[in-house]
């Protein structure tokens, strides 16, 4: 499977997915730390990919997403954005609404 196929599969199989440096418990950059904290504050489970452990994804995802930086938040197969967008959405309540709706939709699909 190609790297792009792997990325597509990750995005398809995870309703809420954060590509980040490190993990939510041990973020490896300030931007990833702020983005993952904003997601954790939403109170829903989310998947993440530590791009520091996946250099091929780190190299290919910016081209695939047409978004040059990390972190990257994907919800329902759509790129939401990076740290600034995530934090802005968290401040105005949009992130919690988006994440809650996605989690609810995911839960209904599994039933």
Check whether 70 is labelled as a binding-site residue.
Answer: yes
DSSP state string for 3-71 = HHHHHHHHHHH-SEEEEESB-SSSBSSHHHHHHHHHHHHTTS--EEEEGGG-HHHHHHHHHHHT--SS-
Check whether 48 is labelled as a binding-site residue.
Answer: no
Check whether 58 is labelled as a binding-site residue.
Answer: yes
Check whether 21 is labelled as a binding-site residue.
Answer: yes
- Binding residue numbers: 21, 29, 58, 70, 83-84
- Binding residue numbers for [2Fe-2S] cluster: 29
- Binding residue numbers for glutathione: 21, 58, 70, 83-84
């Amino acid at each position: 499977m190609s790297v792009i196929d792997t990325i597509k599969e990750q995005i398809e199989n995870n309703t809420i997915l954060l590509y980040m440096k490190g993990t939510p418990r041990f973020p490896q950059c300030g931007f990833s730390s702020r983005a993952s904290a904003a997601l954790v504050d939403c109170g829903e489970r989310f998947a993440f990919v530590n791009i520091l452990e996946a250099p091929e994804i780190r190299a290919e995802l910016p081209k695939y997403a047409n978004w040059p930086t990390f972190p990257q938040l994907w919800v329902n197969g759509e790129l939401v954005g990076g740290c600034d967008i995530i934090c802005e959405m968290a401040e105005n309540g949009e992130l919690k609404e988006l994440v809650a709706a996605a989690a609810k939709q995911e839960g209904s699909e599994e039933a």
